[in-house]
């Protein structure tokens, strides 16, 4: 991100992964940037450089991500076909190992559908 923004950094980072991407997410913000963390799939304990935090005046925000009303509205939009999920792979149940392997290697863009 710093290369794409000519070393300026981004205003906001939405961090869903956790430990594996935390340092890069912190580094990608501009001065006064905000990081919203709402996931920790790779672990719940990340180190933070306090000097970087206060020197660059960064803001860290923890968020559950949504409330029940948001979930209801999202499911309605999915049901009505307004929002369509991106499907990366559709596999039969007996090949679930293939899907899990792709998830572990982070070789997925979208959802994996397992059919019976």
In terms of domains, do 76 and 56 share one?
Answer: no
In terms of domains, do 40 and 14 share one?
Answer: yes
In a domain, 98, yes or no: yes
In terms of domains, do 45 and 88 share one?
Answer: no
Question: Can you give the CATH number for the domain in which 14 is found?
Answer: 3.40.50.720
d(CA 21, CA 59): 17
Last residue of a domain, one of 20, 39, 62: 62
Which neighbouring-strand residues pair with 35?
13, 60
How many domains, the chain?
Answer: 2
In terms of domains, do 55 and 79 share one?
Answer: no
Per-residue pLDDT reduced to its tens digit, 30-86: 999 999 998 888 888 999 999 999 999 999 999 887 788 888 998 899 899 998 888
In a domain, 38, yes or no: yes
d(CA 34, CA 13): 6
Q: Is the pTM of this model over 0.85?
A: no
Look up the domain containing 103 and give its range.
Answer: 68-115
In a domain, 2, yes or no: no
Element (H, E) at 24: helix 19-27
58 Cα distance to chain centroid: 19
Per-residue pLDDT reduced to its tens digit, 89-108: 999 999 999 999 998 888 88
């Amino acid at each position: 991100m710093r290369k794409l923004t000519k070393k300026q950094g981004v205003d906001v980072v939405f961090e869903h992964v956790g430990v594996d991407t935390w340092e890069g997410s912190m580094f990608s913000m501009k001065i006064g940037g905000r990081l919203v963390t709402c996931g920790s799939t790779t672990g719940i304990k990340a180190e933070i450089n306090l000097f970087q935090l206060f020197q660059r005046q960064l803001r860290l925000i923890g968020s559950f991500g949504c409330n029940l009303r948001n979930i209801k509205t999202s499911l309605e939009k999915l049901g009505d076909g307004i929002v369509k999920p991106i499907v990366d792979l559709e596999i039969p149940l007996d090949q679930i190992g293939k899907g899990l392997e792709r998830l572990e290697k982070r070789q997925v863009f979208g959802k994996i559908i397992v059919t019976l």
